[in-house]
Amino acid sequence: MAEGHRQRVRDRLLSQRVQDVPEYVVLESYLHGIVPRKDMHALANRLIDEFGTFAQVVDAPLESLMAVDGVGQTIAQKIKLLQVYLRGYLHSKNKVDNVLYTTEDFGEYLKPYFLGERNELVYLLCMNASHKVLGCDFLGEGGVAAVSFTLRNLLTVATKYNATKVVLAHNHPCGVAIPSQEDIAITRRIKNILQDSEIILLDHLIMDGDDFVSIRDTGGVVSIW
């Protein structure tokens, strides 16, 4: 009976669009692969009830997962590994030589670098004059307010790729993707520093989960450009 239920869950996932399947069913199917001979239906529901959504389960800290009844270290670690697999999948789609032109292009390309991150990270996306991606490097942890590492590494990374155009990105893991006055001030400073080296700062994106905001497109800061 248990195997029959598992097969029905697998068939449902393979035959329907994932957005039409309840999130607890998606999670239950994944848990079946971790614990092959135990009913995971109740645990999947318990996890969704505790954290809210499938994504929030995957993004939850290891310790929080292990605090849920029925979740031991092995299950918690395998759930966290799912986040790693998803990031790897998305990264593999972001090939060097992609051509990016719009704010949407930049944001979609950069999303995997911030997937599930709980600390502020800073990345620099480097392109040539034709907007072809040359590379995307990690600048540091702590947000753009930590100017000591950002400015020190910024030109090093850009010149390593011989980039002529770049997009700066950092995340707001504990808040909404709205640029602060400090973000705007740092953007202006970085733009001027890069300009002295004949490198164009195309944008500075603030990332927050699946959301992102362009400082360039934000009203009231057009004077930066």
Same domain, 65 and 151: no
Same domain, 78 and 182: no
pLDDT at position 132 is 95
Over residues 155-184, mean pLDDT: 89
Over residues 140-169, mean pLDDT: 86
What is the CATH number for 39? Answer: 1.10.150.20
Same domain, 100 and 206: yes
Over residues 47-58, mean pLDDT: 93
Same domain, 55 and 129: no
Looking at every residue in the chain, the average pLDDT score rounds to 86
Nearest to 157 by CA among 193, 181, 186, 205: 193
Alpha helices in the chain (DSSP H): 2-15, 23-34, 41-51, 54-59, 62-66, 73-93, 103-114, 147-160, 181-196
Query: What value does the CA radius of gyration of the chain take, rounded to a whole number of Å?
Result: 21
What residues form DSSP beta bridges with 196?
Answer: none
CB 194 within 8 A of CB 155: yes
Same domain, 181 and 194: yes
Is the pLDDT reported for residue 4 higher than 80? no
Nearest to 167 by CA among 222, 218, 220, 215: 215
Same domain, 117 and 173: yes
Q: Distance (Å, rounded) from C-alpha 70 to C-alpha 13?
A: 24
Q: Which domain holds residue 104?
A: 96-224
Task: Provide the domain count of the chain.
Answer: 2
Instruction: Write down which residue in 68, 91, 114 finishes a domain.
Output: 91
Is the pLDDT reported for residue 117 higher than 60? yes
Q: What is the pTM of this model?
A: 0.73
Is the pLDDT reported for residue 1 higher than 60? no
Over residues 179-188, mean pLDDT: 87
Over residues 199-220, mean pLDDT: 87
| % of residues, the chain, pLDDT over 70 | 91
Instruction: Write down which residue in 37, 56, 91 finishes a domain.
Output: 91
For tokens 């996306």, name the residue.
Answer: 125
Q: Distance (Å, rounded) from C-alpha 111 to C-alpha 208?
A: 9
pLDDT confidence bin for 167, thresholds 50/70/90: very high
Instruction: Write down which residue in 91, 107, 123 finishes a domain.
Output: 91
What is the CATH number for 105? Answer: 3.40.140.10
Same domain, 78 and 123: no
